[in-house]
Amino acid sequence: MTVLPFSAVWSSALRGEPCTVWGLHALPELVPLPHWHGHPVAADEALLGHCVGATIDIGCGPGRLTAHLAREGHTVLGIDVVPEAVRQTQARGGPAIVRSVFEALPGEGRWQTALLADGNIGIGGDPAVLLRRTRTLLAPGGRVVADLAPPGTGVQSQPLRIETATGLSRPFQWALVGADAAAAVAREAGLSVELLEQYDDRWFAVLGRGT
């Protein structure tokens, strides 16, 4: 199996190759790309209902949520480190740029909502570091809207790899944050839990920045 950079393997997945993730749980599992390529489902819409005002979608992937917010009239920007993800987001009608959340971004300190959907609170493997960075993007009174893992997960950080027919990615760090750990992780980042909600099998939180 050819070992490739994450971006190369993820691009092949975004173009339609089935994708397996190794290391997230005890057994490898398929990444739910058909869902991410589809239209927002009811749970997605419940999550997006907490996106207030200008929203930055961190790790936008193929753009189903960025594009939905744009159609609803939000000022929105998707960011992703993978050019193919940004291309697909733009093709859906969602504004997007190729950028890491840890690089300089447009509108720093003025976003009203930062969206971390589909487990993206795990980006980089250290949720407190990610949330501290995300907090700097927000205007006073802004919020982070984040998908979480189920209660009992706590905080877990581990190296992952993804695999498609094109190849196997190099390891990258990722984290899981359970609903039970949201308050502690938020507090480390200078945020507070304003809402913790379950919708079907999804858990998500609204984390407030304060003034």
Q: Read off the pLDDT band of 53 (50, 70, 90).
A: very high
In sequence order, what DSSP letters do the residues of 117-160 get, joined into one string?
-TTGGGGGG-HHHHHHHHHHHEEEEEEEEEEEBPTT--EEEEEE
Please report the pLDDT score of residue 152 as a whole number: 96
Q: Read off the pLDDT band of 75 (50, 70, 90).
A: very high
> Tokens in use for 96?
């997007």
- Say yes or no to pLDDT of 85 above 80: yes
Q: What is the pLDDT of residues 136-151, one digit of tens each?
A: 999 999 999 999 999 9
Please report the pLDDT score of residue 8 as a whole number: 97
Q: Which domains does the chain have, with CATH numbers?
A: 50-160+175-208 (3.40.50.150)
Please report the pLDDT score of residue 136 as a whole number: 97
- Say yes or no to pLDDT of 127 above 80: yes
Please report the pLDDT score of residue 26 as a whole number: 86
Please report the pLDDT score of residue 179 as a whole number: 97
Please report the pLDDT score of residue 125 as a whole number: 97
Handedness of CA 89, 83, 80, 38 (dihedral sign): positive
In sequence order, what DSSP letters do the residues of 30-62 get, joined into one string?
E--HHHHHS---HHHHHHHTT--SSEEEET-TT
